[in-house]
Amino acid sequence: MCPGARGPTGREPAAPTAGFPGFRDAVMTKSGGSGSATGGAGPRVDNVGRGIALTVIAILIFGTQDAVAKILVQDYSPFQITMMRYWAFGLFALFLVSRQAPLRRAFASKAPGIQVARALLLVGDLWLFAIANQVVPLAELQAISLVYPLVVTICAIPILGEKVGLFRFVAVGVGFLGAMIIVRPGGLPLDWGTLSAIASATFYALYICFTRKVAHRDSTATSMAYVGVIGLVLTSAVGVFFWQDMDLQGWLLTGYVMITSCVAHWLIVVALGHAPASAVQPFNYTALPWGIVLSYLVFGHLIDAISLIGAVIIVGAGLVVMARERARIRTDRAARPSRAEEEAPPH
């Protein structure tokens, strides 16, 4: 996934996340906010359908990027491909930052250590996903990547001090059971590729937790600036040592990934202008059916029935955790309305 393909949660920054793994991360709303990109009145109800449609299209584009990247990493280093994908993603993020504030002011952080940690985690996520993409079938890779919301639930306890009830703990356990079904004996082998995919999801989950932690201390522009610049520098500093000259096909495929990365991230931003993040977030899970279809059409691989059951369990558990989280947030806001208003992002 690429930064952004993991989709708009409304709690992490939008363009810099979502999936290289298809740029897993792409939500350009202020972390911790409503996820709306509109003015103070919020998105119109009659535009929610458009926001959902744009999100589904963006996730499909991210999926095609993962498929194309899988072709590329068979001949070129994952570090080189990640570097070139980040050139597009990082520059796009900095472009969005420049529209909100001068770049110099954007780097004035109240928590620079956390911001650096976020950037390092995202780069690690992208490297690990690219390594996994070399050997793990696309459908199974997307399924494993979707455990990240479950990992967020666990990591949020020590990092954010959140309380997780028994219901969500059970949902997380069921989700991990789904992952174990995929890597069962006779299923996906538990090799370095699978371990890289699991580590990638873990890094991304930690990235989200640190993003939430810093959300009310720094602006969205600051969070994006750190991710954009540090990611550009780090992926380039490493990727240059793995550089291999590309043929015409390699350049064309890489160009497709770079261009559509910006297009897909922009679609996410526009989608959040039409609908709140809470409305479009569940549709991030369309990454799984897109992954299954693309895996079959491009690589002739069809996920086996048992692994598909495991993938569906992961998605179901993630949706349950998401619903419980939204219910908890609504309850907290109802109990502390004045604080909720104070912490709402500026429009």
Alpha carbon distances (Å) from 214 to 103, 304, 321:
19, 41, 22
Residue 5 clears pLDDT 60, i.e. is over it:
no
CA gap 284, 269 in Å, rounded: 14
| pLDDT, position 333 | 67
| pLDDT, position 185 | 66
Residue 67 clears pLDDT 60, i.e. is over it:
yes
Q: How many CA atoms lie within 13 A of 50 on its CB side?
A: 12
Does residue 126 or residue 7 have the better pLDDT? 126
Residue 69 clears pLDDT 90, i.e. is over it:
yes
pLDDT band with cut points at 50, 70 and 90 for residue 337: low
Confirm whether pTM is higher than 0.85: no
Phi and psi dihedrals of 110, rounded to 5?
-90, -10
103 and 262 Cβ atoms separated by less than 8 Å:
no
Q: How many CA atoms lie within 13 A of 105 on its CB side?
A: 9
Does residue 183 or residue 287 have the better pLDDT? 287
| pLDDT, position 19 | 36
